[in-house]
Structure 1
């Protein structure tokens, strides 16, 4: 693909093209089965200048996806950076509501569709949550976050969304879900990546064992499910 994507750990994604967007890339997480923001990645994020990060998006405010303290630091370093996410005040952007639950805006040369989705797990259903379509440099990326109702997006918004998605990022539970498999078919996705995994030394819930099962059991009519490598470009 034309875009370059760096994956630190957990759900962090740094998407680099004509614009640079960091999604769920400032986080905590150790102690709940996920990993802290790696120090090397922290230095890369906070050691550059504002031109390196045009926008930060967050799917929701759980600590393995988001850290308020680190966001405040980033906003001081990059005052012109766009910030958007549930329960956050949108900064340096003018989002507009395309349909109930669907918001559009631009981050430089990146068009963003933020779709309200339901966080998976009954105990988290009331947590405000977004999943994102990002279109940049002729490529479209879908970032699921922890959304559980992804199979309804095509029916709900139809022509308001991109017709095709080049790359889909799903978590472990989504990889097993039939409604997510339908989402992939609906948008004729070309590449499917499994993310939202901790470093192996932090894996106290055997997520990596389940990840192997997800890869082996992924439907054969879909593109193969690949696990993202931590602290690496893809």
Structure 2
């Protein structure tokens, strides 16, 4: 006698590196741009600029990159969010919604004025919030501390994107030394994105091994090789070998880098 047969759901996933911590995520034709409109002109952190061709594709909508439905930003540091570039983008595009971390006196006046004129939904995020943006799609913002004592007042968030049963976590610059990941409402993901310090440090590894789990890990927020004067890419590659995770970890640090794969959920039972 045969038992119940449960269908396997297959979701197509494409992940594009914009640069630094900028990621364009497409799942079943739903598209999210995370920290992907940024600047490399600030001081205090080594940041590669968005490659000229990719920036042109984003702003001019040439069709080489999918047009994002949602723009998501983890915090307002220059290497994650450029208000000038965001305004330029909004002038020529109409995403379904833009999610901005509320921060001090920064109210994103120019960007919000454009969004109001074009009737683009704008969400200013100041606390843990779960946004249902479609029948099977949600965006979750989790307020976390920014790494480093000098950024204690920075409004910073981890971002979770859920589409159907596929789930991705973007940790941005979260202080993995102090944050209580055990209290996260969700702990297993299809993909987790972490910066090189998170992945390198033993505290970060403890979190990835014993608190959070994922089918794949992505190390991002890295300079391109020609800008990598502190050899962070080399450090991460050594870490991957040392931790024995060659098959589960992808380094996102090459201009134009794209990953395409299928996510399968469910199982067949005989």
Which aligned pairs between 1:1-234 and structure 2 lie closer than 5 A? Answer: 2-17=12-27, 18-29=29-40, 32-48=45-61, 52-87=67-102, 92=121, 101-108=127-134, 110-149=137-176, 152-155=180-183, 157=184, 161-184=185-208, 185-218=210-243, 220=244, 224-230=248-254, 231-234=256-259
Partners in 2 of 1:34 and 1:189 — Cα distance? 27
With over 3 angstroms needed to count, the CA separation of the structure-2 counterparts of 1:112 and 1:216, relative to structure 1, is same
With 122-131 and 75-84 compared, the bigger mean Cα shift is at 75-84
For residue 165 of structure 1, report the CA deviation from its aligned partner. 0.7
With 114-123 and 224-233 compared, the bigger mean Cα shift is at 224-233
For residue 189 of structure 1, report the CA deviation from its aligned partner. 1.2
Instruction: Point out where structure 2 has 5 or more consecutive residues left out of the alignment.
Output: 1-10, 113-119, 260-270
SS of 1:104's equivalent in the other structure is strand
Partners in 2 of 1:167 and 1:232 — Cα distance? 16
User: What is the total number of aligned residue pairs between the two structures?
Assistant: 226
For residue 208 of structure 1, report the CA deviation from its aligned partner. 2.1
Instruction: Point out where structure 1 has 5 or more consecutive residues left out of the alignment.
Output: none
Partners in 1 of 2:19 and 2:197 — Cα distance? 17
Q: Please, what TM-score do these two structures have when normalized by structure 2? A: 0.73
Deviation string 1:39-92 (CA, Å, 9 cap, x unpaired) is 111121112289822111111112211111110112222234311132366861
With over 3 angstroms needed to count, the CA separation of the structure-2 counterparts of 1:226 and 1:49, relative to structure 1, is closer
Tell me which protein shows more strand as a share of its residues: 2
For residue 123 of structure 1, report the CA deviation from its aligned partner. 1.8
Q: Please, what TM-score do these two structures have when normalized by structure 1? A: 0.83
Paired residues of 2:170 and 2:193 also in contact (CA < 8 A): yes
Partners in 1 of 2:21 and 2:216 — Cα distance? 17
C-alpha RMSD of matched pairs (Å): 2.9
With over 3 angstroms needed to count, the CA separation of the structure-2 counterparts of 1:49 and 1:226, relative to structure 1, is closer
SS of 1:133's equivalent in the other structure is strand
